[in-house]
Structure 1
Amino acid sequence: MTSQPPDPAPATRGDRELRADARRNRERVLRTAQQLFATDGLGVSLDEIARRAGVGPGTVHRHFPAKEALYLAVAIDQIRQLVAEAETLTAAEDPEALYSLLSRMMANGAENVAVKSALVAAEFDLRTAAPDVAADLTRHVADLLERAHAASAVRADVTADEVMALVAGAFAAIRHAGAETSRDRAAHIAQLILDGLRPR
């Protein structure tokens, strides 16, 4: 009689649990790092991030062997969150949704200006590092812009490329005004820029 191979299910379940646990730890590290970079600056150590995230230092160093890798992961994670918000706004069929998304994108940029500056200094380009995620966000902006055009909720002569350029310009304007740490001032600057998109 041929013996049956052992049931692989327990090992598979264990592997899945380990992978799920590793994903949760990584998410916790990313959220903690984003918060600490925004409040304490980029000088915060990986060990401190690990302590605040409630994981061991080895967990952080295993996922992110260098600070630049963590900066990049935080920035990509923020874009993924914006894409998720964009999908929700697209489903709502609101012609004003473009302004909601752009406002969120500008606020996100203001909160993470230090991380974005560090990536620029290290010559990282998010469009190259995460082309699919960046393209998804741009596509959602274009779709919401088309809807706003159809409802005459936005200037007829503005293009998606120009809208994305204005968002990038908002980051520079907020940084120039020293408003990175003031949500109210950053939001005011963003609103001035968004007002320029309204029909004349």
Structure 2
Amino acid sequence: MTSPPPDHVPAAHGSHRELRADARRNRERVLRTAQQLFATEGLGVPLDEIARRAGVGPGTVHRHFPTKEALYLAVTIDQLKQLVAGAEALAGNDDPGALFELLARMMTNGAENAAVKSALMAAEFDLRTAAPDVAADLTRHVSDLLDRAHSAGAVRQDVSVDEVMALVAGAFAAIRHAGAETSRERSAHIARLILDGLRPPPQ
């Protein structure tokens, strides 16, 4: 008799809490695996292959993400949540340069997930509608770090949060145009070039 797949092993003593925790872990594994495969192998990776690489059964993936579009959306929202968590950590220190660290992360992340975001746009998914709180949280953190950088003289005084967010979006296009989506080194270099334009001119 064969053993059940890893994601179908029942929780000890029938604990619903353990089942829920196991389901969360499986979902997170699927999201991390999907994000990596989409970035390295493209969007054509079958759901069953994502399940195999994540070490879960196909039913687990289809149960959480019945369509590719649902998985694209979940991957993108998960990445945004990770950026928000990183922004919260950066907000906890007094470094006026934290703004540049967060923007660099946003640019690199956006470049790596450009294909997923393009697929969502093609399917007429709007992240601001699907995850308004997460998108608003990220913008709020950028605004707060920008205010801190302004006060410290670490960033141009004439730049607004809307302009900063526009530059982040522009960085995605620049990195794609350079074919640097799969190279962290090249995408980080392009991000630095753009971020240098936000720094105050030498006196």
Q: TM-score, normalised by structure 1?
A: 0.92
Say which is worse superposed, 118-127 or 70-79, in terms of deviation: 118-127
Matches within 5 A, 1:92-103: 92-103=93-104
**Alignment correspondent of 1:9:** none
- Matched letter for residue 159 of structure 1: S
CA drift at 1:122: 1.1
CA drift at 1:13: 7.5
**Alignment correspondent of 2:170:** 169
How far apart, in 2, do the equivalents of 1:125 and 1:162 lie? 20
- Structure of greater Rg: 1
**Alignment correspondent of 1:19:** 20
How far apart, in 2, do the equivalents of 1:138 and 1:181 lie? 26
Name structure 2 gaps, 5 residues minimum: 1-12
Q: Percent identity?
A: 82
| Stretches of 4+ aligned residues off by more than 6 angstroms | none
**Alignment correspondent of 1:55:** 56
**Alignment correspondent of 2:5:** none
| DSSP 3-state at the match of 2:92 | helix
**Alignment correspondent of 1:4:** none
How far apart, in 2, do the equivalents of 1:49 and 1:22 lie? 16
Name structure 1 gaps, 5 residues minimum: 1-11
How far apart, in 2, do the equivalents of 1:26 and 1:97 lie? 31
How far apart, in 1, do the equivalents of 2:87 and 2:27 lie? 24
**Alignment correspondent of 2:130:** 129
CA drift at 1:183: 1.6
Matches within 5 A, 1:42-121: 42-121=43-122
How far apart, in 2, do the equivalents of 1:66 and 1:126 lie? 17
**Alignment correspondent of 1:5:** none
Is 1:150 aligned to 2:151, yes or no?
yes
How many residue pairs align between the two structures? 190
- Matched letter for residue 72 of structure 2: Y
CA drift at 1:115: 0.7
Q: TM-score, normalised by structure 2?
A: 0.91
The superposition leaves residues 83-128 of structure 1 with CA deviations (integer Å, 9 ceiling, x where unpaired) of 0000000001110000000000001011111111111111111111
| DSSP 3-state at the match of 1:142 | helix
